[in-house]
Structure 1
């Protein structure tokens, strides 16, 4: 009898608690709503659009995908496909010194256009003959281990490597020994990578409705690629044990590509390096973050030299973000193109003029981060002259040195 009474009371307590939780949804919802209110403050006197990662939020309260919120767009990203988001991004536009309060729980369906994308596409159904791939059709894949046979002009990978783009501009880099980063200039504000190279392997060198390949990399690093400096010469990726590339995020507010170069042998040092390139919606700049298992003494990046372009450098102190850039009629369309690398001065060993590049040599570190970008005058709402380009870079650096302030209520 005693056991029955105890069991009965235990049952009533459990059921009562469940009813309280259910019927008290108004209180629960109010608590949840309060915990999902975020304030974003712009400390500068500049108009700016930012994408911030919200780390101090209970992500389990969100469904993976993109939603519209008042004053912004929110994306919940489920990397491991377990149904619970791993990351939360918020896109918000801010007037000078403005603070916006955003209720993340008050959402609507997002009905806008695609904002970013990353892709890699290689042929399937053909066969290798020596160093060239014959036959087959292109197929997009999420990752690739680069075949030993693959080199430049193997006709295996569509536009010769992975691609990354926002509404403003596209980039690709050669997934072979050259490893240079190239630029797809865009005359439209829609995504175009999926179209490029489908109607002919290198048709993108000719003007099209969407735009064209606008950068001649030649023997250089192109813009923002990675190398090893010996004297005034740069070692690319002639010797590696293997290379893998993965589309780590595709579509939404941010897209990114992760590439690992195992056993990169520079001739003087050997390391494994991971390159993570990410681009945000409404941005021209690629965030390039490198991690090394063994830091390199002479790791560098750079901008291709061009006689038609003027070299520009920001006035900087010993700390904070700064830039090196070029501007002039250096595009393959014979019109204005600005190129820039934005770096943290505390990370830099020296600036060097190499044979083919304006170079930045970094101090040895397990992690290096910088940004690279191109600005073509034929862009939709493009930058048309050097003064506009310098103004854009100065503002970009000021925003990096004065990030938005995010607080949860």
Structure 2
């Protein structure tokens, strides 16, 4: 999703422009599961909708109301490939939408964002960036300062925020949000544009709420060869990385969905070398994000590990199997700084890849984590979700059962299949499942 276009106009204007360009497309969405779907993420491929690269769809429901959407360029060729939107569909029901061409565009309410900034020198101000390359000898301890705003990229939606420690640690942290609007652009920098930790104090929008230490945080990754765990990257006390080259880029920033790409090239672990890619994606409406991981160089005894920080966990995580599709692994405790607030943390993991969980060592570069074990084939993608429910985002999250109900329901929502049928002038064109 290198570029995103935010589309919309009034129904009247859309009808007039559509008549000059192409027939109206009918998109029928059929919920095949006996569960009501709330803000279900739907992806329609452009080639299933139209061959016209300049056809920018405006979605309207049966009442003629606009459904916010965005189109994304997933291949980087400058043309959009996917139409993305969120929709409610009743259990075993269907929703019919029309897709009409529009030449006009509006900015829908921003419900997702990615923030990334860097300074080139200690005295230089932080500037917004769309990506960066970090070499093994460019860690903060070796260059003498922290180059990145919030230690690396942060991403959020209308419910929760996260950040990735791009500075060699490669952990994932949580920003608790008290508001639905996007947090200010100056989080992590001061009035002079210098990097500053100003997000561990409560502000109107929220704050950083979760201690990470030398864990990989919530949804961070590592690797195991047999019983030995290897951290992808190092700790804050190291001056040289074990990853030769780390490449980060913002893939897309849209009102409903935003995405990033992180590549770790020539990572040395136990005398072996690997290359891995992470692709975190966040969309509106859920207290979590999706991550997709690929790994090259995997060997027979290698296992992907996904972290669930346990610095303040008073009991082991609970496992719940959802329809033989997902495994929910979660904790619920006063897991925030100084154990001040209740915080539910969880992973939603693919059932067919899940091999149980283990605990990180008590000492070493990777500690304070429960580690979910996932079977992963060489260069084959595996996707999972990381979830964080803070009591100041929703007071219900003070209650363990409430958080369990939320993450289980989210997993069921993700399991539910929606059949997408696209037609023109009542002739069925495409049928697919998402």
Q: TM-score, normalised by structure 1?
A: 0.83
Residue 169 of structure 2 aligns to a residue whose secondary structure is coil
Higher helix share: 1
- In the alignment, which of 347, 356, 362 is matched to residue 350 of structure 1? 356
CA distance in structure 1 between the partners assigned to 2:256 and 2:76 by the alignment: 18
Residue of structure 1 equivalent to 2:201: 206
Report the alpha carbon displacement of residue 305 of structure 1 after superposing the two structures with TM.
Answer: 1.0
Q: Is the 8 A contact 1:68 1:109 kept in 2?
A: no
Kindly report the root-mean-square deviation, in angstroms, between the aligned alpha carbons of the 2 structures: 2.9
Q: 1:118 aligns with which of 114, 121, 127?
A: 114
Tell me how far 1:318 sits from its aligned partner: 9.3
- The answer to whether the 8 Å contact 1:165/1:193 transfers is no
Answer yes or no: is 1:243 the counterpart of 2:246: yes
Match of 1:288 among 284, 288, 291: 291
How many residues in Structure 1 have an aligned counterpart in Structure 2?
A: 375
Q: Paired residue for 2:8? A: none
Q: Does 1:403 align with 2:417?
A: yes
Given that 2:211 and 2:311 are in contact with CA atoms closer than 8 Å, whether structure 1 keeps it comes out as no
Q: Does 1:219 align with 2:208?
A: no
Q: Which residue of the partner structure matches residue 239 of structure 2?
A: none
Partner of 2:270: 267
- More moved, 39-48 vs 265-274: 39-48
Partner of 2:432: none
Q: Tell me, which stretches of 5 or more residues in structure 2 are unaligned?
A: 1-14, 235-241, 362-367, 424-434
1:300 CA displacement = 0.7
Q: 1:201 to 1:326 in 2, by over 3 A?
A: same
Q: Distance in 1 between matches of 2:175 and 2:187?
A: 9
Task: Spell out the pairing of 1:312-351 with structure 2 (5 A cutoff).
Answer: 312-316=317-321, 319-332=324-337, 334-351=340-357
In structure 2, distance between residues paired with 1:380 and 1:67:
31
Q: 1:129 maps to which residue?
A: none
Q: Counterparts of 1:64 and 1:139 in 2: how far apart (Å)?
A: 32
- Give 1:249 deviation, angstroms: 0.6
1:111-133: CA deviations, max 9, x gaps? 64211111320013x3xxxxxxx
**Is contact 1:66-1:75 (8 Å) kept?**
no
Aligned-pair CA distance for 1:178? 1.6
For residue 183 of structure 1, the aligned residue among 165, 174, 185 is 174
Deviation at 1:81, TM superposition (A): 7.8
Residues 354 and 374, structure 2, Cα contact 8 Å, conserved in 1: yes
Q: 1:245 to 1:407 in 2, by over 3 A?
A: same
The 8 Å contact of residues 287 and 370 in structure 1, kept in 2 or not, is answered as yes
In structure 2, the CA distance between the partners of 1:242 and 1:61, relative to structure 1 (3 Å rule), is: closer
Q: Which residue of 1 aligns with 2:84?
A: 89
Q: 1:399 & 1:150 partners in 2: Cα distance?
A: 41
Question: Where does residue 387 of structure 2 map in the other structure?
Answer: 373
List per-residue Cα deviations over 1:230-249 (Å, max 9, x = no partner). 63644231411211100011
| Distance across 1 between alignment mates of 2:328 and 2:72 | 32
Larger radius of gyration: 1
Deviation at 1:110, TM superposition (A): 4.6
CA distance in 1 between partners of 2:52 and 2:395 (Å): 39
* Number of the residue aligned with 1:194: 185
For 1:97-116, list aligned pairs within 5 A: 97-105=92-100, 110=106, 112-116=108-112
Distance in 2 (CA, whole Å) between partners of 1:312 and 1:358 is 8
SS of alignment partner, residue 195 of structure 1: coil
Instruction: Tell me by how many angstroms 1:315 deviates.
Output: 3.2
* SS, match of residue 391 in structure 1: helix
**Gap runs ≥5 in structure 1:** 1-24, 127-133
CA shift, 1:293, in A, is 2.3
Whether the 8 Å contact between 2:219 and 2:306 is mirrored in structure 1 is yes
CA distance, structure 2, for counterparts of residue 229 and residue 359 of structure 1: 10
Matched, 1:142 2:130: yes
Distance 1:335 1:136 in 2: 37
The aligned counterpart of 1:252 is 255
- Cα drift, residue 47 of structure 1: 4.1
Report the Cα distance in structure 2 between the residues aligned to 1:321 and 1:291, rounded to whole angstroms: 19
